[in-house]
Amino acid sequence: MGITGLLPLLSEAQRKGHVKEFANKTVGVDSYIWLYKGAFSCAVQVGLGEPTSKYVTFFMTRARMLRHYGVEPLFVFDGGALPSKRETELERQRNRAERRQQAMRLWQQSKRKAAFEMFQKCLEATPQMAKVVIEQLKAEGFRYLVAPFEADAQLAYLESQGITSASISEDSDLVVFGCQNIIFKLDQYGAATIFDRTRIERTKAVNIKGWTDAQIRRMCILSGCDYAASAPGIGLKKAHRYVARSADINMAVALMRADGVSVPEAYEDCVTRAELTFLYQRVYDPRSEMLVHVRPLAADAPPIDQMPFLGESLDPAVARDIALCEVDPFDYKPFDLSRSSDSAAMPATPAKPEESEKQQPRKQSAKKLTDTRAASKPSPARSGTLVSFWKKSAFATISAKPIPPPATSASPQASSAVDIVAHKEEPAEEDQAVRVRFRARDANSEIVSTDQQSKFFAKAKREDTSPASASEHVDVNNDDEDSEEPDAAQPATGTLQTVDTQSARPSAVVDRLESENTLIAESISGDSQPEPVSAATTQVLCDSQLEELSPAESEPKKNVAALFAQFTHKEDIPEWMATPKYPKGNFHPLTRDR
């Protein structure tokens, strides 16, 4: 569950960014999330044990996206459960099994939709799914590694050793484990929220100036973590106060007791175990091919035989087999993917990479783990065609001074190809931002699609921290060229940035947009068949309207025109976005048998 509320608390240490900032670097990937999200759309097949390749396609598309931006991923998968978490793990398994039964009943009753939703609820990323994905990763030359226990700790270790430069994850525990650079909320286009530990003292919600990692760790533990529940009524803020007044975690607990907090008996032992687990959990060192601790045991650490909660000391051969995904991290037995219900349906062709891979001597697989240059060259970006744009709305954010009223309302020529409506925005934050939405309509002005959210423009620009220079040129279709730097050759279409919405709860922003926000650009197509409006038309119309506007107004409007023009064409897009499909029936998402 991570640390509840930690990421909002540390919002000042995070910024909007893009993975391409990590080009030419190795980045660890907490792969569980991609397995899980990828399985979401094929929850039924996964639940029934039917062959599907959808989750593999999802995973590989994201993997190729990283490579497209020159980022060299090292995929880290979760391994076995820590001894202390085994019981809760079993409990979860039982709950899942129950719901799966329920889902299967619904399925047999032909209640497809209900069954689908139930299958989604009991969805689980299994070692078997990881194995299938890993075989494809190997076939495409990606590096990977199965952690002996938790991927969080493994990622922290890899970064601490300089093997990776950052970690892609959704888990706030990485902060507690001491990671420096964490890429949160990565979307399919590479946009993300980037945590930078060097900025951690900027935190405003609590004063952590001068705090050590140990103090931050204690605060998190006392507020409740995976290894230790919090005392009732204690969250991050109160934990902060106790840690601030204490020299160690025992003293903090003592102060809580003195305040009348109902602290469980032997709570000191509990939080101390948690502290030690964050400090010393066992991880895999890919260089020595041995288990090590996430950081070296300190002199005052308890003897190792008194810390079984760090995970077993596995035999090096076993540890390596787990890391290379030769064996299941739970039972140390080789995978048997052939025992699927319909292995006969499995086509021979696509299975070949897997087979040939298996024949290879282990050394070769191990080499992939350590040979950085092997797969690090980004694939040349070839173009595809952007499909289905009109089925989506697109949101963009552009920087702007507050737009002065009166707002321009619907343009008089309603029959024109493009209708741009402007609304004023009330200045809300110091950093003004405008959101733009495009919508496709048919001849009757019916909205063709009201789908919310496309992150099309999320890739537009990284944030600039200084408010004075918060605006930058956009390179909307930059991705095929080198695009390290803001493109100065870009036509003067105004300035654009992904907004640093510190109030950045997307749904909240969308709500505001519905009611009062800024600028809405709507395309009205003459055809009933939604058809892209020509960029030229868009540009002309915008330009004619711009003349009547004050500079403050016209600036964002130019952006609208530019953005709109970019995407009303069939746009060249990078290959990874074209989503290659793997042959159906190729993979076997076995659920773990019990």
Partner DNA sequence: AGTGAATACTCGT
Partner DNA sequence: GTATTCACT
| Cα–Cα distance measured from residue 218 to residue 274, given in angstroms and rounded to the nearest whole number | 9
Q: Are 101 and 308 in contact (CB under 8 A)?
A: no
Paired tokens of 445: 């002005």
Contact region for DNA (CB under 7 A) — 160-168, 234-242, 311-319, 378-386? 234-242
Q: Hey, which residues between 434 and 493 contact DNA (CB under 7 A)?
A: 451
Dist CA 588 CA 590 (whole Å): 6
Tokens of 174: 């990485």
Using the rule CB under 7 A, is 7 a contact of DNA?
yes
Quick check: 408 and 521 in contact, CB under 8 A?
no
The DSSP letter of residue 205 is: S
Does 235 sit near DNA (CB under 7 A)? yes
Please, what is the minimum distance in Å from the beta carbon of residue 119 to DNA? Answer: 11
Q: Is 412 exposed, middle or buried (0-12, 13-18, 19+ CB in 10 A)?
A: exposed
SS3 content of the chain, % helix, strand, coil (to 5): 40, 15, 45
- Cβ-based nearer residue to DNA, 474 or 576: 576
Return the number of the residue (180 or 579) whose C-beta is nearest DNA: 579
* Binding of DNA by 4 (CB under 7 A): yes
Residue with tokens 């003004």: 432
Stretch that binds DNA, among 51-59, 158-166, 376-384, 428-436 (CB under 7 A): 51-59
The C-alpha atoms of residue 577 and residue 248 are separated, in whole angstroms, by 50
Question: Which stretch, 20-28, 169-177, 308-316, 487-495, contacts DNA (CB under 7 A)?
Answer: 169-177
* Residue 160 identity: S
Binding mask 182-221 for DNA (x = CB under 7 A): --xx--x----------------x----------------
Contact residue for DNA among 21, 50, 124, 170 (CB under 7 A): 170
Beta carbon nearer to DNA, 556 or 589: 589
Output the smallest distance, CB 43 to DNA, in A: 8
Residue in 160, 128, 165, 172 with CA at minimum distance from that of residue 146: 128
- The reply to whether 86 sits near DNA by the rule CB under 7 A is no
| Exposure class string for 181-213: b at 16+ Cβ within 10 A, else e | bbbbebebbbbbbbbebeebeebeebebeebee
Dist CA 357 CA 338 (whole Å): 16
Q: Shortest approach of DNA to residue 373 CB, angstroms?
A: 30
3-state SS assignment for residue 157:
helix
Please work out the total of residues on this chain that contact DNA, with binding judged by CB under 7 A: 45
Q: Which residues pair with 436 in a beta bridge?
A: 396, 519
Structure tokens at 239: 């934990």
Min separation Cβ 41 and DNA, Å: 3
- Interacting residue with DNA among 130, 183, 200, 236 (CB under 7 A): 236
Measure Cα distances from 333 to 128, 318, 355, 509 in Å. 12, 10, 18, 49
Least distance (Å) from DNA to the CB of residue 173? 7
- As given in the structure block, the two tokens for residue 32 are 């569980």
Report the site for DNA in 237-266 (rule: CB under 7 A): 237-239
Contact flag: residue 500 with DNA (CB under 7 A) = no
Tokens representing residue 286 in the block: 């890919």
> Residue 524 region, left (φ>0) first, then alpha (ψ -120 to 50), else beta?
beta
**Identified binder of DNA from the candidate list 233, 260, 380, 406, rule CB under 7 A:** 233
The residue ranges of DSSP E strands in 5-141, in sequence order, are: 14-18, 26-30, 72-77
**Based on CB atoms, which residue is closest to DNA, 110 or 507?**
507
Closer to DNA at the Cβ: 89 or 336? 89
Binder among 6, 156, 182, 573 for DNA (CB under 7 A): 6
Where in 514-573 is the site for DNA (CB under 7 A)? none
Q: Which of 505, 552, 570, 584 binds DNA (CB under 7 A)?
A: 505
Task: Kindly state the tokens that stand for 307.
Answer: 């810390």
Among 36, 330, 332, 582, binds DNA (CB under 7 A): 36
Q: How far is residue 255's CA from residue 312's CA, in Å, rounded to a whole number? A: 34
The residues facing 439 across adjacent strands are: 522
Shorter beta-carbon distance to DNA: residue 174 or 541: 174
Beta bridge mates, 284: 291
Does position 3 interact with DNA (CB under 7 A)? The reply is yes
One of 443, 447, 508, 536 touching DNA (CB under 7 A): 508
Look at strands 394-399 and 433-441 and give their pairing. Answer: antiparallel
Q: Which of 15, 18, 20, 54 forms a contact with DNA (CB under 7 A)?
A: 54
Alpha-carbon distance of 56 to 587, in angstroms, equals 8
- Does residue 124 bind DNA (CB under 7 A)? no
Which span (5-13, 378-386, 472-480, 551-559) binds DNA, by CB under 7 A? 5-13
| Residue 309 binds DNA (CB under 7 A) | no
In the bound complex, what is the minimum distance in angstroms from residue 343's beta carbon to DNA? 25
Q: In the bound complex, what is the minimum distance in angstroms from residue 31's beta carbon to DNA?
A: 12
* Contact with DNA (CB under 7 A) among 427, 506, 526, 580: 506
Binding site for DNA (CB under 7 A): 1-8, 33, 36-38, 40-41, 54, 57-58, 120, 152, 170-173, 184-185, 188, 205, 223-224, 226, 230-239, 451, 505-508
